[in-house]
A = this chain, B = another copy of it.
């Protein structure tokens, strides 16, 4: 059994990976660490876990938190994992970090990202950069299998990169033409209270935010540029709507050569033919939306072309807490431990 430690266990990202590990046939939880609710049973914090897990929430410096683990999930904000990873690695654990700390492989790329989110641009463990992999399995499966440090993708980024990578890799995207219009459910902002996510302030509210720039743009541009072998710039709009789970990203780009929807569809299906969690649809599909991927690790992509203006449009749907967070993290764990990537993730969710 893979022994699992979760740091940041009481946030949505932490409880998400906890739920998944509890159902995983080859993994088991050994310790839960967090800054809040220390000393309580996790089942007191999350009563749906009663009868399934009664581990206590430990402070980071609790001796029990040093119990041997084979993998440590850092479901923590920026700047936490980068400092704590070294200790875990030295104890022989692999590390999967949810934040931006290990999404970049050079100090320069990290500094650019950190500056954008208003953080100190220096990385605390520059020597670990380069050894890490970007945890989007569909694009970096082999690197993830070989590394012991994974930076899990941002939730918006995951939907945008999956939605545009096939077109980018076929050099179909005109540079500077790419727009990512992204809508997220409220759980994307986490468990922390915020006046704009107070129920009465949100139930009929949809709005754009961070118009000056969202931190996920860095990884989207990096990944698309890698695929395209060219410099891709993205205009990115983050919006929040009153659903709990779900991201709907509508992605636009001017085609470098006329391409029919049928050809684009074939390209996408071929690109993802070995990716069990990506489903590709043509534009005539109906009843495909966020509710149809909720609670699952799937990404649904709907492909279309506005032929009048030679523009492709991809609509991507994921569950921000699953494929956009804990689901991808578990998929990465599976890869890092030589398991089929669907292990413990192969279920359809519930409807409605």
Contacts and interface: CB of A to CB of B under 8 A. Distances in A.
B211 A248 contact: no
Nearest to A243: B204
A15 to B, nearest CB: 6
Contacts of A338: none
A335 to B, nearest CB: 20
10 tightest CB-CB pairs across the interface, nearest first?
A207-B289, A205-B291, A200-B352, A211-B283, A181-B181, A186-B199, A193-B193, A187-B200, A235-B306, A176-B309
Given A23-B347, A292-B48, A203 B199 contact: yes
Nearest to A234: B309
A181 B291 contact: no
28 contacts: A12-B351, A19-B348, A48-B292, A48-B296, A48-B348, A51-B276, A51-B279, A176-B309, A179-B311, A181-B181, A181-B250, A185-B200, A186-B203, A191-B201, A197-B199, A200-B244, A206-B243, A206-B289, A208-B250, A208-B315, A211-B302, A212-B284, A235-B252, A242-B242, A242-B243, A245-B352, A252-B252, A295-B350
A352 B212 contact: no
Given A179-B252, A183-B183, A199 B244 contact: yes
Given A200-B352, A212-B284, A235-B309, A206 B246 contact: yes
A177 to B, nearest CB: 8
B237 A313 contact: yes
Contacts of A181: 179, 181, 237, 250, 252
Contact of A241 (B22, B206, B313, B317): B206
A152 interface: no
A173 to B, nearest CB: 13
Nearest to A240: B289
Contacts of A199: 186, 197-199, 202-203, 242, 244
**Which of A51, A291, A308, A349 counts the most chain B CB atoms within 10 A?**
A291
Interface in A284-339: 284, 286-296, 300, 302, 304, 306, 308-309, 311, 313, 315, 317
Contacts of A308: 233
A252 to B, nearest CB: 6
Contacts of A348: 19, 22, 48-52
Nearest to A283: B211
Interface of A: 12, 15-16, 19, 22-23, 46-52, 176, 179, 181, 183, 185-187, 191, 193-209, 211-212, 233, 235, 237, 239, 241-246, 248, 250, 252, 276, 279, 283-284, 286-296, 300, 302, 304, 306, 308-309, 311, 313, 315, 317, 347-352
A244 B183 contact: no
